[in-house]
Structure 1
Amino acid sequence: MEGRGRPHGRSLTIAATVALGVVVAIPTLVGFGGRRAEAPSQSPGSSRASASRTIDSQPPAGTASPRAPAAGVSPPPPTPSPKPPAGTSGAARAGGPSFRTVRLTLARLTPAQLPYQGARPVSLSSPPYPTDSRGVRVVIRDGKAHYAPVQLAQQGLELVDAFNQTGKRAYLDVARRVAGQLVLRGRSFSNGLFLTYDFAFPMHGRSSEVLRAPWYSGMAQGLAASFFVRLARASGQPGFLRTAGLVMRAMENLRTRDDRAWVSTVDSLGYLWIEEYPLDHDHTLNGYLFALFGLYEYWLATGSGAAKSLLAGGVAALRHYVPQFRNVGAISAYCLRHRVQNAKYHRIHIWQLRFLGRITGDASFSRMSKAFAADFS
């Protein structure tokens, strides 16, 4: 499969889990009775959350716009630009390709101003998704239970929020188990923790484009970074913040070879992409934005220059590419490779672009959010 990241390096299992202060037992997979089995993709967040807080990135099987490429055919790479666009500059990175950046002055939001909060606390005795015997979320694929990094990070964020709302330690206990399972899903490569999918996944249900296990997701890395940062704050355990750093460093490792793990790549115009799906020219918008929000939270917690550099690269890329996702008077494209349109993801794009404008002070994202809303809402 083109552009597929493969594991290269040892698993971070017992040692990293001990560093977290989490004891991970091998669970029994139960908790399916009376609950709908979920597709093991980047599935929707809780329906209890408002649209402005939704975490959702299952690639839709919606209608492609007239500009969609033929099935199974990759769009040609763009022609290199002779010089950087106005407002961008080249940023060299030791040990990897360079990418365009912008000057950033980031807003310092309070924890209460961050997304993924405010939903009604989830029931631990009867959660709205299948779990293993320890309450950790699973997804079902062909009748078999799997741990999926995006869904684990979603559950972790939900549990930390529930703890913050209620003060009930039981939420924090399950959140620690979720953290331990995420670490068990991790592979170490170039000092980064890559969270692994162990099942095949057909893009938009297409048998011609299947991500073969193991594969990795920039969206998973970003959501997990947000989760570990928040868990460190809620629990008072700094080991979780160190784990967030390992997750962030996986996004810092830029793609050089397809037989090595990657979620970040630089296109022929010199723009950085943190890919939700490791395919050439896929460019899924909502997954990229979730990755950037995870970097932002890590920067807020640590002041990391590396996280800010990646954010500056992401802002430069999206200044250039967001207009290409827009379909004037209609639903925006889910990704640039297939240009599938789906109303749910269009609404996610609206709040994500608004939030990106808020944290960066870049009015162009606020304007695009309003334009997307005017096109369809």
Structure 2
Amino acid sequence: MNRAGYRLVDLPDSMRPWRDRPVRWENASLTTGTYHLDAGGVYLYYPDGATTGYDHPVGQCQFGLGCLASYRTEPDPARRDVFLTRARAQADRLIGQHVEARGAWWYRYPFDYANPAHPGVDYEAPWYSGMAQGEALSLFVQLAQVDAVPAADRDRYLEAADMTFASLQALDDGIPWAVNIDSAGYLWIQEYPGPAPGSGDYTYNGMIFAMFGLYDYATLTGSQPAADLYDACATTIARYYPLLRNTRWHSYYCQAHRVPAPTYHQHHIRLLLQLHWHTGSPDFADMTDRLVDDYPAPGVAGTVAFEAGQHTLYRFDTAASGAWTASTGDIELARQTVTFSRDTSAPASMRRRIQGRGIYDRISDGPYTDWWVGESWSTAYLRGVHLTTIYRPPRTLTFPGGNVPIAAYRVTDDGTVTSIKTVAFPSPSNAPTDRRAVVNGRAMFQITAGGLTGYWVPASAVTIDSAPAVG
């Protein structure tokens, strides 16, 4: 089993797993829809209008963990009680429905399932998922740490965590199974274990979600075997990241099918960033940065700044929302050249990559409504500070030697430049950075110490952590 030596670091509560996925209050008591709560507050799956719900272990785990995230920040005591009650209902259901095999607890899906996008992911009940095993581990560990839970129940949840962790130690030598080592010696937690031990989709997001359970368990209990498994999983993700990445487009969902996954690309960004936080390794920060540039989150809007002169605008065959879909693609329908006699601006409802091209902004008002303009510093770009990535721990920038002049910018959130400093160093010089963002259309790092504290420098002008910067 290959391990590169990734070590777990302790984190402030706000940066630990699942804190970024709270359940909104209005969803804490859903009684209708494909997924909703039964009379006992258990999250169940009701396919095709069924009146009888099925257990859905991943859904139950994620709902419970989301309720715990809300519980931690909810100021209203009555609502806090509801969120905690909901979280415990999911954990208790999982405990009550568990299957014991090979000295471990397993959480079954009691319904048939076929994934239309992934041939071979076709299950007859009951079936199991490594993603569910890891997420259940997180849910039990986190409940065991809540002071408001009675001590006897905290012990019960910790026992459930121990038994669940055992399932992630059991390799593919029996049924059910969720963990295997591939032919090159890399360990995988399979979201969709195949019918034959060792077979599966090799799905990225499901494995990382399961790793969160290992992080929670190892940091609570001090378990070295859990830390070693996390190290092995992180080593696998680092090794196979080139197969996850789909340069300048949506990343792939899994190794088996190599299908670009628009709905999962942003998940991959958030998940890899959390691996950076868990390990402190710049490896995962670099991976995050590359995915952000490959296909940035399309929800960014604001104001496009145009420099005086000629600009080419485009219409594309995108969905009505402006987002890419497999059915529409990004076919160019029309283009026009416009000339502005002075610097000007226009509102934009979306910034995203156009397939096979660069980053474009969609104009949302005025004579050029629904036309797109390609970003190009400094002729046209979206003003402001967007898509910020927080590094923990801070990383190290290196300015080149040779007295190369580099401009650094102090910028407000709306993109207003309040100060510019030009620096040049005879020999390479270092500075710390704790974040990266797209600042006025360019990838930049913010410096956190020294004479340039608070200033942003273009990623293309420096290197970071001794590796070429992404920009």
TM-score normalised over the length of structure 2: 0.56
Where is the helix percentage greater, Structure 1 or Structure 2?
Answer: 1
* 2:306 corresponds to: none
* 1:307 corresponds to: 226
Using the TM superposition, give the Cα deviation of residue 340 of structure 1 relative to its aligned residue in structure 2, in angstroms: 1.5
**Counterparts of 2:173 and 2:100, CA distance in 1:** 16
* 2:132 corresponds to: 220
Matched, 1:268 2:183: yes
* 2:113 corresponds to: 201
**Counterparts of 1:207 and 1:311, CA distance in 2:** 29
Mapped contact 1:149–1:185 kept (Cα < 8 A): no
Unaligned regions of 5+ residues in structure 2, if any?
A: 297-471
* 1:352 corresponds to: 271
* 2:168 corresponds to: 251
Which residue identity is paired with 1:301?
A: L
Using the TM superposition, give the Cα deviation of residue 320 of structure 1 relative to its aligned residue in structure 2, in angstroms: 1.0
Mapped contact 1:203–1:211 kept (Cα < 8 A): no
Using the TM superposition, give the Cα deviation of residue 368 of structure 1 relative to its aligned residue in structure 2, in angstroms: 1.1
Greater shift after overlay, 292-301 or 180-189? 180-189
SS at match of 1:174: helix
Matched, 1:239 2:156: yes
**Counterparts of 2:131 and 2:232, CA distance in 1:** 16
Which residue identity is paired with 1:196?
A: R
Mapped contact 2:17–2:216 kept (Cα < 8 A): no
Matched, 1:160 2:44: no
* 1:54 corresponds to: none
Q: How does 1:334-373 map to 2 (within 5 A)?
A: 334-373=253-292
**Counterparts of 1:209 and 1:151, CA distance in 2:** 18
Alpha-carbon distance change, 335 to 208 in structure 1, aligned in 2, over 3 angstroms? closer
Mapped contact 1:159–1:172 kept (Cα < 8 A): yes
Which residue identity is paired with 2:62?
A: Q
Which residue identity is paired with 2:18?
A: Y
1:239-265 CA distance string (max 9 Å, x none): 2122112111101100024xx110001
* 2:192 corresponds to: 277
Which residue identity is paired with 1:227?
A: L
1:289 to 196, 208, 214: 208
Using the TM superposition, give the Cα deviation of residue 205 of structure 1 relative to its aligned residue in structure 2, in angstroms: 5.1
Question: Which gives a bigger RCO, structure 1 or 2 (Cα 8 Å, sep 6+)?
Answer: 1
Using the TM superposition, give the Cα deviation of residue 221 of structure 1 relative to its aligned residue in structure 2, in angstroms: 1.2
Alpha-carbon distance change, 155 to 209 in structure 1, aligned in 2, over 3 angstroms? closer
* 1:179 corresponds to: 91
Mapped contact 2:61–2:139 kept (Cα < 8 A): yes
**Counterparts of 1:145 and 1:329, CA distance in 2:** 41
**Counterparts of 1:347 and 1:197, CA distance in 2:** 27
SS at match of 2:105: strand
Matched, 1:104 2:3: no
Which residue identity is paired with 2:173?
A: T
Matched, 1:376 2:295: yes
1:71-129 CA distance string (max 9 Å, x none): xxxxxxxxxxxxxxxxxxxxxxxxxxxx1112232111133321423536434444674
SS at match of 1:313: helix
SS at match of 2:46: strand
**Counterparts of 2:221 and 2:120, CA distance in 1:** 42
SS at match of 1:373: helix
1:117-151 CA distance string (max 9 Å, x none): 35364344446742111111111235242010001
1:196-219 CA distance string (max 9 Å, x none): 111111123567541221111111
* 1:230 corresponds to: 142
Greater shift after overlay, 200-209 or 247-256? 200-209
Mapped contact 2:244–2:251 kept (Cα < 8 A): yes
Which residue identity is paired with 1:107?
A: V
Mapped contact 1:122–1:158 kept (Cα < 8 A): no
* Percent of aligned pairs sharing the same letter: 32
Mapped contact 2:141–2:220 kept (Cα < 8 A): yes
Using the TM superposition, give the Cα deviation of residue 283 of structure 1 relative to its aligned residue in structure 2, in angstroms: 0.6
Alpha-carbon distance change, 230 to 317 in structure 1, aligned in 2, over 3 angstroms? same
Where is the strand percentage greater, Structure 1 or Structure 2?
Answer: 2
SS at match of 2:201: coil
Matched, 1:132 2:35: no
Using the TM superposition, give the Cα deviation of residue 185 of structure 1 relative to its aligned residue in structure 2, in angstroms: 2.8
Mapped contact 1:193–1:249 kept (Cα < 8 A): yes
**Counterparts of 1:337 and 1:185, CA distance in 2:** 31
* 1:31 corresponds to: none
**Counterparts of 2:269 and 2:120, CA distance in 1:** 30
Alpha-carbon distance change, 109 to 140 in structure 1, aligned in 2, over 3 angstroms? same
SS at match of 2:2: strand
* 1:69 corresponds to: none
Alpha-carbon distance change, 277 to 112 in structure 1, aligned in 2, over 3 angstroms? same
Unaligned regions of 5+ residues in structure 1, if any?
A: 1-98
Mapped contact 1:228–1:240 kept (Cα < 8 A): yes
Higher-Rg structure is 2
1:10-34 CA distance string (max 9 Å, x none): xxxxxxxxxxxxxxxxxxxxxxxxx
2:56 to 139, 145, 148: 148
* 1:46 corresponds to: none
